[in-house]
Amino acid sequence: MGASMMINLLKRSKILMVAEGLDLFRVKVPQALAGRTIADSAIRERTGCSVVAMGVGKDLQLVPDPEVELTEGSEMLLIGSIEAEDRFLDLYPERRPEKD
């Protein structure tokens, strides 16, 4: 599935099941991570989720460099297992996406 197709599908929903047990979901950058780089945030190590895009609105940068700074108000597109998604949302509950 191409990245553009995934982003277009996510415009209709905050969560997209890519495969059984693997979700792609969009959240605003949590305040606790704002000002840190993707690498420094240790999102993958702490949650099991990987950042696959970053940006504001329609201006998403796919596969962002690990040194990109997470800015409050921007969005992250994350991919991970259901368990990894739950870990992320447990750590950063203020940014829980709405389920459709």
**pTM greater than 0.85 (yes/no):** no
Closest CA to 82 of 41, 54, 48: 48
Residue 93 Cα distances to 15, 30, 36, 60, angstroms: 15, 9, 18, 23
pLDDT exceeds 50 at position 35: yes
Q: Mean pLDDT across the stretch 9-30?
A: 68
Question: Structural domains in the chain?
Answer: 3-95 (3.30.70.1450)
Closest CA to 69 of 50, 85, 89, 54: 54
Cβ atoms 61, 7 nearer than 8 A? no
pLDDT exceeds 80 at position 36: yes
pLDDT exceeds 90 at position 59: no
The band of 94, judged by pLDDT with boundaries at 50, 70 and 90, is low
Residue 14 Cα distances to 30, 42, 76, 88, angstroms: 16, 22, 11, 15
The average confidence (pLDDT) of the chain is: 80
Quote the percentage of the chain above a pLDDT of 90: 49
The band of 20, judged by pLDDT with boundaries at 50, 70 and 90, is low
The band of 81, judged by pLDDT with boundaries at 50, 70 and 90, is very high
